[in-house]
Amino acid sequence: MTRTVWDSSVGKKTVMAVSGLIMLMYLVVHMFGNLKIFFGSGDFNHYAHWLRTLGEPFLHYEWALWIIRVVLVVAVVAHATAAYQLSRRDIRARPNKYVHKKPRSSYATRTMRWGGIILGLFIVWHILDLTTGTAHPGGFQPGHPYQNVIDTFSTWYGDVIYIVAMLALGLHIRHGFWSAAQTLGAGSRTRDRALKAIADVLALVLTVGFISVPVGVMTGLVS
């Protein structure tokens, strides 16, 4: 039964919709957490520590954080795999080139595709930079996330990578939220306008919220 659902285009779109909404919920919480950096190193570092003690004493140290990470990895892999397979299926369905040059896919489809690639590469860089410290500029300091963020956004390339990725994220959310609503049956002629408005607001708030952090470092508001 599960295999049958996964093999169908509707099943893959449903997986994309559900996994996308899981990631969206995480992004909203993550953005609010990031904004604590404007309240100083004490608040921001305390928030980072709280994430590791979440669920104690029922859960051990960092267990909740690892559960969140595992859920996110599963969501990202499922989302990317379904998107790739749907894209390949679409290409196989139309193997012949058009006689006259026409756009093969809509602006939204191309944005989602390339935006997804940009975000995938960004996630790898972001983890290597601020989680493992492998690609971190300067000396990575475990347990001092405030200073690590300052270090990253004190470099021009750190700002460029992050801002470009967040702009891609905004476009991805704007198109993806509405598509997910349609896939899950929430869309209708009367609700479409409201769903598109919600998608626009979510995309704008998340993009501005995330980008405000590197801008705060660049302008000296966060130092």
Average pLDDT over residues 118-137: 94
Is 80 exceeded by the pLDDT of residue 108?
no
Q: Is the peptide bond before 57 cis (omega within 30 degrees of 0)?
A: yes
4 vs 84, residue with greater confidence? 84
Taking the C-alpha atoms of residue 181 and residue 192, their distance in angstroms, rounded to an integer, is: 9
Q: If you average pLDDT over every residue of the chain, what do you get?
A: 89
**What distance lies between CA 6 and its chain's CA centroid?**
23
Q: Determine the pLDDT at residue 52.
A: 94
Taking the C-alpha atoms of residue 132 and residue 74, their distance in angstroms, rounded to an integer, is: 20
Average pLDDT over residues 160-171: 96
87 vs 172, residue with greater confidence? 172
Is 60 exceeded by the pLDDT of residue 123?
yes
The reported pTM is: 0.89
Tokens for 129, please give them.
Answer: 């930079």
Taking the C-alpha atoms of residue 70 and residue 29, their distance in angstroms, rounded to an integer, is: 17
Is 70 exceeded by the pLDDT of residue 105?
no
Q: Determine the pLDDT at residue 138.
A: 78
3 vs 180, residue with greater confidence? 180
Segment 23-82, tens digit of pLDDT: 999 999 999 999 999 999 999 999 999 999 999 999 999 999 999 999 999 999 999 999
Q: Determine the pLDDT at residue 104.
A: 46
Q: Determine the pLDDT at residue 107.
A: 61
Q: Determine the pLDDT at residue 163.
A: 97
Is 90 exceeded by the pLDDT of residue 88?
no
Listed in sequence order, the DSSP H helices in the chain are: 2-7, 9-34, 41-53, 63-93, 107-130, 145-152, 156-183, 192-218
Q: Determine the pLDDT at residue 96.
A: 58
Q: Determine the pLDDT at residue 158.
A: 96
